[in-house]
C-alpha cells in the first residue's frame, strides 16, 4: 500500500533541521540520504533534503531481546509502534502558500519551521518543476533524482555567471558530466566555451573503457565548434580546424612560476625568471636562451641573480624550447582570432595531441588564457564606455582539467586562472574546473566557485575542501557519502536553488538526439575558413 | 444463553456466579448484560474461581486411592450444592441501539442480573474499534492482564472466523499501548503466537 | 477489653495435671477386663433388681456386653437424610418478644445416580400461644430448656418431612443429639411434658410406619451408662450403700470407674465395629412405649461415638446392620478428622444462623417499625454492645 505520505514531523530545530517519525508502513529502505523531500506545513511548503536516518525503540529492552525467528505477529506488531524510524530533514527552500494564485511567488529561503505533525512526503514532478524550473530558456536537465524519473534542471545562465567546479574521485564520470554540461551550455547558448582538452577527449568520437564510442562535441554541434590543435601531426589525421603555434615571445615570467613544479625548479630558480623579465622585458626568454656563460655571469652581476640558478633555468628552458609547437615568434593574432570566434558564439576546443603532459598543458593554457582575458578586459572596458549591447563581450567559460595544478595555494595568486576565479564575472570570463583533488585547490579560489558538482569523494581533506564556503556542510556530508561511485553527483550552489543529489544523464544516443541535430557533422570534412569566421550564427 | 448471575457490581467490573459449577466462561471471552431493551453492557472475562459457597468453609481433600477427579463429585453429591464458581468480568463498553460506545459504563450493572455470552455477530461488531484495549490494560486489579488480553485476542480471532487481518491490527494496537514496556508486550504477543 | 489469659494459665496447668495423675490407661484396661468377666444374664437381673435405687443411669444389655460386631457392605444405592436446627432466642432488649427457629436438612443419595438436596426453613414465633406454654396466665415462657425442646420438635418435623419426600430406598434418618428427652423430666406442670412428648412420639410413630430407621448420632459422648452398669456388677452389697463400702479395693476400683466414660471403655472396638446394644433406664423413657430408646457404641474410624435409636430399629438385626453400614459409610466420606457424617454436617450448615443473619433480623424488625412511624432506639446496653465506640 504505497502512499505519498512518509511520516510526521515530531521535533527538530531551525538550525539543525527537522526530525520526522516515519509512518509504520514506510521503511527506511524506500528513502535515500540526499533525497529531496517535501514537508507540508500549515502555511508553507518546505523543500528539503534527507540528511540522516535513525532507528529508534520506545523501550530499549526490545533491543536486548528482539523477536524470535518465526514470531511474525510480534515482529509486525512492533514495527512502527515500539521500534520505529526517524529521518532528519534539512529544509532548504520554503514556498509560502497563498490562497490567491496570483499572489503566489516562487520558493525562497527558509525563515521558519513547521509545527509538530506536519506531513513529510516524497517530492513529485511538480515539486521539482517548482524548485528547479521548467524546461526552456537556459534551464537544462542534467539528470534525475536517484530513484525517480523526474528531470532536475540546472539554470545554465547562473551556472556560467560564476566559476564552477566538477569534482569526484577518478572513475566517477567527471568527463562525461563535463560533456553533458558543455552540451547544455552550447545548446542553450548560455555562453561561449574554451575547452583546454588535455587528452583530446571532447572534440571527436572517443572509445570508452567499456569499448563503445561516444560522440564528440564537434560531431554533435558541427560548425559551432572549432577545433584547434597544438600537434600538427595529429591535426592532419583528425578534423582539426587550426593548428596553434605558440611563440617564445608569448611566454612570460609568471608562466615559469606556474611551471616551477613541472620543470622541477627551485623557487630561487623560478624567481630568476622574474629578474630576467625585469631586465629584458618581453625578450627575456630569447635573451636567456641565447646567453653564453659569460652573459650569464654578467647578468647575475647586474641583477643580483644567482648564477647557478640562472644556468639551471637556461638548461630547463632549452628543453622546453625544443617543443614542436614553440616557435621563436608567434603572432598573437592567432589567439585574437580565437576571441573573435568566441565573440560570435562559437565554442573552441584546444587539443594537445601528443603534448598531453602537464607541462605543455599548463604552459599553453596559461598563455592563451592570459591573452584572452586581456582582450576581454579591454572589451569590457569599452562596453562600459559605450554601453552598446553589441560591444558587450559574450559570457565565456573556460574549461580546465587538472585544475589543482593551476590553482593550488602556491600558485593561485600568480596565475591568470587564480585571477579569473577571484574576479568572478567582472569581465564575463569564468572557469569550469575539473579535478579529483579539491583539497589541492586554494581555499580562497574554492570559495569563489559558485556551483559545485561533486561525485563521491573519500578523502576527508577533499570532502572538507569541496564544502568550503558552503553553508550547512554538516548535513550535506551525509548526502555526499551516500553517492554511488558512478553517475551520481551532489549538485549545490549558485545554479541550483537547493542542493540536490542527481543521477546524471547518460551520454548516449538519446542524449545526442535531445541536444544536437540528428545528423552527424563528421561527414563534412571540408570546412572552410570563411565558414568559421565569416558567418554569424 | 445465560451463563451467570451478577453477585458483585462495581463501575469497573462485576462478579457473577456461574450457572455451571466448575465451568465459568473462558478467560478473555466477551460477555454481556442486558441493561435495558436495546442496551447491553459488554465485558471481558478476566478471572474465574471455584470455592465454597459459605466463606467460612474451605474445600478439603476428598480423593482416595480409588476415588478421584470427577468421581469425587459422585461420591459426595452435596458438593454441587455447597460449592460455587464465580467469574469476574471487566466492563469495556455499552452497545446502545446497535451503536458501540467503548469505555466504562456510567453506572454499574444491577445485582442479580444475568450474564450472557456474546455471539459471533456481536463480537465482530464490538471489536471493530480497539479503543477498549486501554481499559483492559489500565485496570488496577490483581490479575495478569497481559495473559487475559492474550486470551481475549485469541478468542476474538476465532470468533471472527480466524480473522488474520484483525489479529494483526489488534497486535499493533497492543504494541502502541505497551510501547514503553516491551516485556509486557512480548508476554501478550508470544502468548497469542504460540496458540494460533 | 481482652481476656487476661495470664491469670488463667496457672489454673489450666493445674487442671490438666489433676486429671493426668489418674493413670487412666490402667483403670480402663481393668474396666475392660471387668467387662469381659460379666455374665449378661446375671447383670441384667442385678440391674433390674436395683434399678429403682440407683442414682445413676445404667445401660441394660439386650444381649452380650463385650461383643464387637464387624461392619457389613453397604447396598449399591442408598440415601441418608439428616436434619439440624438453630434458633434466635427471645431478646430482652428488643421491643418485641419473638424467637426464630431455623431448621436445615440434607438428603444425600449415593450409588448409581448420586444426588443431593439441601435446604432450610425458618419460622418466626411471636404469638401468645407460641411464647407461653400457658398463654392465659402467661406462665411457662418458652425459653431455655423449653426452647431447646421446641427446637428439637421442629428438627424432627423437618427430618420427617424431608424423609417422606425421598423415593429411594434404603433410607436412614439421622439427627445429632440424644433421643432421650431427659431435659423434660423436671418440667412442671406435667402437662408441659405431655405436650412435648405427644408430638415427639408422633414423629417416632411416623418413622416406624414408613419403615425409615431413625438414629441419633452423638459425637464425643460423655455418657457413663455401661460403666455404671459395671459398678453395679462390681458391687458386692445388696443395698449399695456407698458410704459403708466393705472392700477398700472395690471402693478404689469403683471410684476410678466413676471417672471413666463409655467411649473409653469401648475403645477396644476396631474401625467400623459396633458394641452390643443396651437399653437406657432413663425415667422419661417409660412414656415412650414401643419407641423406647436403646443405644450402642461404634468406632467410626477416629473416634467411638454413641448411637441411639428406638427399639424397633435396634431390635431388628437387618435394620441394625444397615444402620451400622450406612453410618460407617458416612464417616468414610467425611472430610474432617475425626470423621463426622456429611449429611449431618450439611444439615448443620443449612440450619446455622450467622451473626450477620441475626443482625439482619434485628434490622428488619427495626425497619418495619420505622415504616409504621416508630423509631426504636433499643436498650442502652444492647446499643452499647452493637456500637462499641472508644
Lowest mean pLDDT among A60-74, A186-200, A256-270, B57-71: A256-270
Helix (H, G, I), strand (E, B) or coil at A172: coil
Instruction: Check residue A534 and give its pLDDT.
Output: 43
Instruction: Check residue C387 and give its pLDDT.
Output: 67
Using CB atoms, list chains with 3+ pairs below 8 Å to chain A.
B
Instruction: Check residue A530 and give its pLDDT.
Output: 42
Are residues A400 and A257 located together in one domain of the fold? no
User: What is the pLDDT averaged over residues A35-56?
Assistant: 92
Are residues C374 and C317 located together in one domain of the fold? no
Are residues A89 and A194 located together in one domain of the fold? no
C328 touches chain B (CB under 8 A): no
- Angle among Cα A299, A302, A303 to the nearest 5 degrees reads 80
C97 touches chain B (CB under 8 A): no
Please state the ipTM of this predicted complex: 0.75
Q: Distance (Å, rounded) from C-alpha C166 to C-alpha A500?
A: 98
Strand partners, B98: none
Q: Distance (Å, rounded) from C-alpha B12 to C-alpha B20?
A: 24
Instruction: Check residue B145 and give its pLDDT.
Output: 85
Q: Quick check: A366 pLDDT over 50?
A: yes
User: What is the pLDDT averaged over residues A470-490?
Assistant: 81
Are residues C312 and C387 located together in one domain of the fold? no
Residue C240, all three cell numbers: 449399695
Q: Quick check: A188 pLDDT over 70?
A: yes
Number of domains in chain A: 3
CB A178 within 8 A of CB A193: no
Are residues C157 and C208 located together in one domain of the fold? yes
Are residues C383 and C282 located together in one domain of the fold? no
Instruction: Check residue C109 and give its pLDDT.
Output: 96
User: What is the pLDDT averaged over residues A7-21?
Assistant: 93
Partner residue facing A76 (CB), from B171, B180, B183? B171
Closest CA to A397 of A346, A353, A332, A454: A346
CB A34 within 8 A of CB A50: yes
Whether residue A81 and residue B181 make contact (CB cut-off 8 A), yes or no, is no
Q: Cis link prior to C189 (omega < 30° from 0)?
A: yes
Residue A480 resides in a domain: no
A82 touches chain B (CB under 8 A): yes
Are residues C307 and C386 located together in one domain of the fold? no
Are residues A106 and A44 located together in one domain of the fold? yes
pLDDT digits 0-9 by tens, C17-54: 766 655 778 889 889 999 999 989 988 988 888 766 67
**Confidence band for A172, pLDDT divided at 50, 70 and 90:** confident
Are residues A239 and A274 located together in one domain of the fold? no
Closest CA to A209 of A241, A175, A240, A233: A175
Partner residue facing C116 (CB), from B60, B61, B78? B78
Residue B95, all three cell numbers: 452497545
pLDDT digits 0-9 by tens, A22-31: 998 888 998 8
Among B162, B170, B175, B194, most A C-beta atoms within 10 A, so best to mutate, is B175
Are residues C210 and C100 located together in one domain of the fold? yes
Residue B187 CB partners (closer than 8 Å, separation 6+): B146, B147, B150
**Confidence band for B107, pLDDT divided at 50, 70 and 90:** very high
Exposed/middle/buried for residue C119 (C-beta within 10 Å: 0-12, 13-18, 19+):
middle
Which positions in chain A touch B179 (Cβ < 8 Å)?
A: 58-59, 81-82
Name the residue range of residue A113's domain: 5-131
Whether residue A81 and residue B183 make contact (CB cut-off 8 A), yes or no, is no
Q: Quick check: C240 pLDDT over 70?
A: no
Q: Distance (Å, rounded) from C-alpha A166 to C-alpha A402?
A: 11
The residue from A451, A471, A490 where one domain ends is A451
Instruction: Check residue C203 and give its pLDDT.
Output: 95
Are residues A27 and A124 located together in one domain of the fold? yes
CB B87 within 8 A of CB B47: yes
Residue C242 resides in a domain: no
Are residues A222 and A369 located together in one domain of the fold? yes
Q: What is the CATH number of the domain that holds C82?
A: 3.30.2170
pLDDT digits 0-9 by tens, A421-447: 888 677 888 999 999 899 999 998 888
CB A275 within 8 A of CB A304: yes
Lowest mean pLDDT among A143-157, B85-99, C17-31, C284-298: C17-31
Instruction: Check residue A306 and give its pLDDT.
Output: 80
Name the residue range of residue C276's domain: 78-226+257-353
% of chain C residues with pLDDT over 70: 91
Q: Distance (Å, rounded) from C-alpha A171 to C-alpha A510?
A: 23
Residue C196 resides in a domain: yes
Q: What is the mean pLDDT of chain B?
A: 90
Q: Quick check: B42 pLDDT over 70?
A: yes
B183 touches chain A (CB under 8 A): yes
User: What is the pLDDT averaged over residues B31-51?
Assistant: 93
**Confidence band for A65, pLDDT divided at 50, 70 and 90:** confident
Among B62, B67, B77, most C C-beta atoms within 10 A, so best to mutate, is B77
Number of domains in chain C: 2
% of chain C residues with pLDDT over 90: 50
Partner residue facing A73 (CB), from B179, B182, B193? B193
Q: How close does chain A come to B30, measured CA to CA in Å?
A: 22
Q: Distance (Å, rounded) from C-alpha A77 to C-alpha B175?
A: 6
Strand pairing class (C78-88; C99-110)? antiparallel
C-alpha distances out from residue B111 to B5, B15, C220, Å: 8, 9, 44
A77 touches chain B (CB under 8 A): yes
Which positions in chain A touch B186 (Cβ < 8 Å)?
A: 65, 67, 74
Report DSSP state, residue A40. E
Q: How close does chain A come to B176, measured CA to CA in Å?
A: 5
Are residues C89 and C186 located together in one domain of the fold? yes
Closest CA to A130 of A170, A90, A77, A93: A93
Helix intervals (H) in B128-163: 133-138, 145-159
User: What is the pLDDT averaged over residues A138-166?
Assistant: 86
User: What is the pLDDT averaged over residues C75-88?
Assistant: 95
CB A248 within 8 A of CB A286: yes
Q: Quick check: A264 pLDDT over 50?
A: yes
Are residues A341 and A359 located together in one domain of the fold? yes
CB A59 within 8 A of CB B181: yes
Q: Quick check: A1 pLDDT over 50?
A: no
Among B164, B165, B168, B193, most A C-beta atoms within 10 A, so best to mutate, is B193
Q: What is the mean pLDDT of chain C?
A: 87
Closest CA to A312 of A246, A266, A365, A374: A266
Neighbour order of strands in the sheet with A429-435: A152-155, A139-144, A500-504, A488-493, A451-454, A164-167, A429-435, A396-401, A192-197, A347-351, A225-229, A242-243
Report the phi/psi class of residue A484: left, alpha or beta, with left for phi > 0 and alpha for psi in -120 to 50: beta
Whether residue B172 and residue A24 make contact (CB cut-off 8 A), yes or no, is yes
B interface toward C at CB cutoff 8 Å? 54, 57, 60-62, 73-82
Residue A231, all three cell numbers: 600537434
Are residues C303 and C373 located together in one domain of the fold? no
Residue of B nearest to A72 (CA): B193
Are residues A219 and A257 located together in one domain of the fold? no
Q: What is the mean pLDDT of chain A?
A: 83
Q: Quick check: A258 pLDDT over 60?
A: yes
Partner residue facing B76 (CB), from C118, C342, C349? C342
Instruction: Check residue A526 and give its pLDDT.
Output: 41
Helix (H, G, I), strand (E, B) or coil at A197: strand
Please indicate whether residue C14 or residue B91 has the higher confidence score (pLDDT). Answer: B91
B144 φ/ψ angles, rounded to the nearest 5 degrees = -75, 90
Whether residue A82 and residue B182 make contact (CB cut-off 8 A), yes or no, is yes
Are residues C383 and C266 located together in one domain of the fold? no
Residue of A nearest to B190 (CA): A74
User: What is the pLDDT averaged over residues C214-218?
Assistant: 96
Which positions in chain B touch A61 (Cβ < 8 Å)?
A: 182-183
Instruction: Check residue B31 and give its pLDDT.
Output: 96
% of chain A residues with pLDDT over 70: 95
Helix (H, G, I), strand (E, B) or coil at C179: coil
Q: Quick check: C10 pLDDT over 50?
A: yes
CB C306 within 8 A of CB C315: no
Name the residue range of residue B98's domain: 2-195
Are residues A165 and A280 located together in one domain of the fold? no
Instruction: Check residue A352 and give its pLDDT.
Output: 86
User: What is the pLDDT averaged over residues C294-310?
Assistant: 95
Considering Cα of C109, then C110, then C113, then C118, what sign does the dihedral take?
positive
Q: Distance (Å, rounded) from C-alpha B119 to C-alpha B156?
A: 11
Lowest mean pLDDT among A340-354, C47-61, C203-217: C47-61
Instruction: Check residue A525 and give its pLDDT.
Output: 37
Number of domains in chain B: 1
Residue of A nearest to B189 (CA): A74
pLDDT digits 0-9 by tens, A292-319: 888 888 888 888 888 888 888 888 888 8
Are residues A87 and A118 located together in one domain of the fold? yes
Instruction: Check residue C62 and give its pLDDT.
Output: 92
Residue A63 CB partners (closer than 8 Å, separation 6+): A57
Are residues A211 and A351 located together in one domain of the fold? yes
**Please, do chains B and C touch (3+ CB pairs < 8 Å)?**
yes
Please indicate whether residue B93 or residue C283 has the higher confidence score (pLDDT). Answer: B93
Lowest mean pLDDT among A114-123, A340-349, B18-27, B169-178: A340-349
Are residues A217 and A335 located together in one domain of the fold? yes
Whether residue B171 and residue A61 make contact (CB cut-off 8 A), yes or no, is no
The residue from A276, A297, A321 where one domain ends is A321
Whether residue A73 and residue B192 make contact (CB cut-off 8 A), yes or no, is yes
Whether residue C114 and residue B77 make contact (CB cut-off 8 A), yes or no, is yes
Report the phi/psi class of residue A192: left, alpha or beta, with left for phi > 0 and alpha for psi in -120 to 50: beta
CB pairs under 8 A between B and C: 36
Instruction: Check residue A522 and give its pLDDT.
Output: 43
Closest CA to B92 of B139, B49, B143, B158: B139
**Confidence band for A472, pLDDT divided at 50, 70 and 90:** low
Strand partners, A433: A165, A400
Among A57, A66, A82, most B C-beta atoms within 10 A, so best to mutate, is A82
Lowest mean pLDDT among A98-107, C154-163, C348-357: A98-107
C74 touches chain B (CB under 8 A): no
Strand pairing class (C278-280; C59-61)? antiparallel
Q: Distance (Å, rounded) from C-alpha A247 to C-alpha A329?
A: 4
B190 touches chain A (CB under 8 A): yes
Amino acid at each position: 500500500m504505497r502512499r505519498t505520505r512518509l511520516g510526521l514531523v515530531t521535533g527538530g530545530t531551525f538550525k539543525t533541521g527537522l526530525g520526522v517519525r516515519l509512518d509504520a508502513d514506510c521503511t527506511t529502505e524506500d528513502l535515500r540520504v540526499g533525497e529531496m523531500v517535501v514537508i507540508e506545513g500549515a502555511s508553507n511548503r518546505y523543500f528539503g533534503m534527507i540528511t540522516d536516518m535513525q532507528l529508534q525503540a520506545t523501550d530499549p529492552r526490545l533491543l536486548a531481546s528482539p523477536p524470535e525467528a518465526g514470531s511474525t505477529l510480534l515482529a509486525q506488531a512492533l514495527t512502527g509502534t515500539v521500534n520505529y524510524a526517524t529521518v532528519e530533514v534539512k529544509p532548504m527552500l520554503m514556498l509560502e502558500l497563498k490562497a490567491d494564485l496570483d499572489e503566489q511567488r516562487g520558493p525562497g529561503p527558509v525563515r521558519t519551521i513547521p509545527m509538530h505533525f506536519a506531513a513529510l512526503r516524497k517530492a513529485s514532478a511538480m515539486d521539482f518543476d517548482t524548485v528547479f524550473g521548467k524546461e526552456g530558456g537556459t534551464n537544462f536537465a542534467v539528470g534525475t533524482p536517484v530513484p525517480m524519473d523526474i528531470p532536475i534542471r540546472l539554470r545554465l545562465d547562473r551556472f556560467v555567471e560564476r566559476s564552477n567546479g566538477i569534482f569526484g574521485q577518478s572513475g566517477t564520470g567527471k568527463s562525461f558530466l563535463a560533456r553533458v554540461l558543455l552540451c547544455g551550455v552550447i545548446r542553450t547558448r548560455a555562453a561561449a566555451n574554451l575547452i583546454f582538452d588535455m587528452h583530446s577527449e571532447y572534440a571527436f568520437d572517443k572509445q570508452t573503457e567499456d569499448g563503445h564510442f561516444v560522440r564528440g562535441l564537434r560531431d554533435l554541434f558541427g560548425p559551432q565548434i572549432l577545433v584547434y590543435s597544438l600537434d600538427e601531426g595529429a591535426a592532419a589525421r583528425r578534423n582539426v580546424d587550426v593548428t596553434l603555434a605558440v611563440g617564445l615571445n608569448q611566454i612570460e615570467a609568471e608562466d615559469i612560476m606556474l611551471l616551477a613544479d613541472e620543470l622541477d625548479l627551485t623557487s630561487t630558480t623560478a624567481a630568476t625568471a622574474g629578474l630576467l623579465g625585469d631586465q629584458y622585458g618581453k625578450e627575456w626568454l630569447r635573451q636567456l636562451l641565447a646567453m653564453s656563460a659569460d652573459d650569464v655571469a654578467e647578468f647575475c652581476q647586474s641583477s643580483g641573480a644567482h648564477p647557478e640558478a640562472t644556468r639551471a633555468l637556461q638548461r630547463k628552458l632549452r628543453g622546453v624550447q625544443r617543443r614542436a609547437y614553440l616557435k621563436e615568434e608567434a603572432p598573437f593574432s592567432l589567439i585574437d582570432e580565437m576571441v573573435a570566434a568566441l565573440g560570435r558564439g562559437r565554442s573552441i576546443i584546444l587539443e594537445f595531441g601528443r603534448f598531453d603532459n602537464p607541462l605543455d598543458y599548463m604552459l599553453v593554457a596559461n598563455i592563451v588564457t592570459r591573452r584572452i582575458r586581456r582582450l576581454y578586459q579591454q572589451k569590457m572596458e569599452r562596453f562600459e564606455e559605450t554601453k552598446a549591447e553589441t560591444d558587450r563581450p559574450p559570457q565565456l567559460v573556460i574549461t580546465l582539467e587538472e585544475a589543482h595544478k593551476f590553482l593550488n595555494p602556491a600558485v593561485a595568486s600568480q596565475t591568470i586562472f587564480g585571477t579569473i576565479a577571484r574576479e568572478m564575472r567582472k569581465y564575463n570570463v569564468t572557469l569550469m574546473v575539473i579535478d579529483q583533488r579539491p583539497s589541492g585547490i586554494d581555499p580562497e579560489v574554492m570559495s569563489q566557485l559558485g556551483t559545485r558538482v561533486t561525485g563521491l569523494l573519500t578523502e576527508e581533506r577533499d570532502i572538507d575542501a569541496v564544502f568550503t564556503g558552503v553553508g550547512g556542510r554538516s548535513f550535506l556530508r551525509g548526502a555526499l557519502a551516500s553517492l554511488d561511485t558512478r553517475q551520481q553527483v551532489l549538485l549545490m550552489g549558485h545554479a541550483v536553488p537547493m542542493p540536490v543529489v542527481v543521477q546524471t544523464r547518460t551520454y548516449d544516443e538519446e542524449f545526442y538526439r535531445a541536444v544536437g541535430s540528428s545528423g552527424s557533422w563528421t561527414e563534412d570534412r571540408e570546412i572552410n575558413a570563411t565558414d568559421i569566421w565569416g558567418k554569424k550564427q | 444463553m445465560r451463563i451467570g448471575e451478577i453477585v458483585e457490581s462495581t463501575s469497573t467490573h462485576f462478579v457473577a456466579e456461574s450457572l455451571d459449577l466448575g465451568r465459568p466462561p473462558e478467560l478473555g471471552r466477551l460477555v454481556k448484560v442486558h441493561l435495558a431493551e436495546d442496551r447491553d453492557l459488554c465485558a471481558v472475562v478476566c478471572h474465574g474461581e471455584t470455592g465454597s459457597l459459605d466463606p467460612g468453609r474451605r474445600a478439603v481433600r476428598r480423593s482416595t486411592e480409588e476415588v478421584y477427579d470427577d468421581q469425587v463429585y459422585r461420591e459426595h453429591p452435596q458438593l454441587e450444592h455447597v460449592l460455587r464458581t464465580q467469574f469476574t468480568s471487566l466492563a469495556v463498553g455499552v452497545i446502545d441501539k446497535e451503536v458501540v460506545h467503548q469505555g466504562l459504563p456510567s453506572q454499574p450493572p444491577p445485582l442479580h442480573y444475568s450474564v450472557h455470552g456474546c455471539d459471533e455477530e456481536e463480537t465482530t461488531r464490538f471489536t471493530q474499534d480497539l479503543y477498549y484495549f486501554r481499559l483492559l490494560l489500565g485496570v488496577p486489579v490483581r490479575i495478569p492482564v497481559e495473559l487475559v488480553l492474550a486470551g481475549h485476542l485469541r478468542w476474538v480471532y476465532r470468533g471472527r472466523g480466524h480473522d488474520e487481518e484483525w489479529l494483526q491490527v489488534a497486535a499493533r494496537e497492543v504494541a502502541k499501548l505497551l510501547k514503553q514496556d516491551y516485556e509486557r508486550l512480548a508476554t501478550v504477543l508470544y502468548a497469542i503466537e504460540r496458540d494460533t | 477489653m481482652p481476656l487476661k489469659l495470664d491469670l488463667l494459665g496457672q489454673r489450666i496447668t493445674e487442671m490438666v495435671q489433676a486429671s493426668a495423675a489418674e493413670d487412666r490407661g490402667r483403670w480402663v484396661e481393668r474396666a475392660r477386663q471387668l467387662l469381659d468377666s460379666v455374665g449378661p444374664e446375671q447383670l441384667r437381673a442385678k440391674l433390674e433388681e436395683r434399678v429403682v435405687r440407683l442414682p445413676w443411669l445404667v445401660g441394660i444389655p439386650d444381649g452380650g456386653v463385650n461383643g464387637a460386631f464387624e461392619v457389613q457392605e453397604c447396598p449399591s444405592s442408598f440415601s441418608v437424610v439428616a436434619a439440624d436446627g438453630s434458633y434466635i432466642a427471645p431478646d430482652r432488649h428488643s421491643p418485641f418478644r419473638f424467637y426464630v427457629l431455623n431448621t436445615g436438612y440434607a438428603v444425600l443419595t449415593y450409588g448409581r445416580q448420586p444426588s443431593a438436596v439441601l435446604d432450610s426453613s425458618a419460622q418466626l414465633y411471636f404469638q401468645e400461644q407460641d411464647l407461653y406454654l400457658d398463654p392465659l396466665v402467661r406462665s411457662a415462657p418458652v425459653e431455655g430448656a423449653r426452647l431447646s425442646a421446641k427446637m428439637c420438635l421442629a428438627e424432627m418435623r423437618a427430618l420427617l418431612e424431608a424423609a417422606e419426600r425421598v423415593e429411594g430406598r434404603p433410607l436412614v434418618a439421622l439427627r445429632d443429639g440424644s433421643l432421650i428427652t431427659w431435659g423434660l423430666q423436671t418440667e412442671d406442670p406435667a402437662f408441659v411434658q405431655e405436650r412435648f412428648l405427644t408430638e415427639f412420639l408422633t414423629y417416632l410413630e411416623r418413622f416406624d410406619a414408613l419403615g425409615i430407621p431413625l438414629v441419633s448420632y452423638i459425637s464425643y459422648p460423655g455418657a457413663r451408662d455401661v460403666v455404671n452398669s459395671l459398678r453395679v456388677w462390681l458391687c458386692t452389697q445388696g443395698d449399695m450403700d456407698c458410704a459403708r463400702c466393705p472392700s477398700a479395693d472395690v471402693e478404689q476400683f469403683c471410684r476410678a470407674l466413676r471417672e471413666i466414660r463409655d467411649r473409653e471403655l469401648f475403645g477396644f472396638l476396631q474401625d467400623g465395629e459396633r458394641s452390643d446394644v443396651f437399653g437406657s433406664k432413663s425415667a422419661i423413657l417409660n412414656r415412650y412405649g414401643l419407641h423406647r430408646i436403646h443405644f450402642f457404641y461404634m468406632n467410626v474410624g477416629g473416634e467411638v461415638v454413641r448411637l441411639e435409636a428406638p427399639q424397633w430399629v435396634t431390635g431388628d438385626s437387618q435394620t441394625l446392620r444397615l444402620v451400622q453400614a450406612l453410618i460407617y459409610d458416612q464417616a468414610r466420606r467425611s472430610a474432617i478428622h475425626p470423621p463426622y457424617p456429611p449429611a449431618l454436617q450439611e444439615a448443620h450448615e443449612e440450619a446455622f444462623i450467622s451473626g450477620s443473619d441475626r443482625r439482619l433480623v434485628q434490622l428488619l424488625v427495626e425497619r418495619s417499625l420505622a415504616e409504621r412511624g416508630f423509631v426504636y432506639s433499643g436498650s442502652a446496653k444492647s446499643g452499647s454492645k452493637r456500637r462499641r465506640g472508644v
